[in-house]
Amino acid sequence: MKITTTPQEFVDESLRLLEARPSATITTTYHAAASGKGKLTIKTYDPASGAVIKFRTCKIAVVGRMIAGLNRLGRQQANVPEPVVTVTSATGTPISGQATPLTADTGSKNKKKKKRGKP
């Protein structure tokens, strides 16, 4: 059993397992707590080899990323290619040769500068 520490590591390892063993299954379990903070557990399991990849979190921001990652895993399991987004110019015409796969945005957030008082 491999316990992953980051969502990206889980998705990468699961993609490798699904490529090697298409019979692998992905299960999700969510346990709600009375305090309002639940726990999400996601496992990729291959019954033929006994390989298990597991990820656990209680952070709500990570849950959203994992749901986006499950989209990629589901496409791999169904043998459906990832969609390709074509980059277009400001005039709306496609720019040739610049197609990128659709992925979750991982860019940094814009930070506002603090206002200072008068000196």
Predicted local confidence at residue 93, as pLDDT: 64
Predicted local confidence at residue 37, as pLDDT: 80
11: exposed, middle or buried (Cβ count in 10 Å: 0-12, 13-18, 19+): buried
The tens digit of pLDDT for each residue in 21-35 reads: 888 898 989 888 777
The tens digit of pLDDT for each residue in 66-117 reads: 877 777 777 777 777 777 766 666 666 655 554 444 444 445 555 566 677 7
Under the banding of pLDDT at 50, 70 and 90, the label for residue 58 is: confident
Task: Report the percentage of the chain scoring pLDDT > 70.
Answer: 72
Cα–Cα dist 48/41, whole Å:
22
Res. 60: pLDDT tops 90: no
Mean pLDDT for the stretch of residues 3-16: 87
Asked if residue 84 lies in contact with residue 103, where contact means CB atoms within 8 angstroms, the answer is: no
Mean pLDDT for the stretch of residues 1-21: 87
Sheet holding 52-57, edge to edge: 2-3, 52-57, 39-45, 25-31
* Candidates 3.30.1490.20, 3.10.450.50, 3.30.720.10, 3.20.20.450; CATH matching 2-77: 3.30.720.10
Cα–Cα dist 49/110, whole Å:
46
Predicted local confidence at residue 72, as pLDDT: 76
Write down the residue that tokens 């390989």 correspond to. Answer: 51
Domain locations in the chain as residue ranges:
2-77
How many contiguous H segments (helices) and E segments (strands) does the chain have? 2, 6
Predicted local confidence at residue 67, as pLDDT: 77
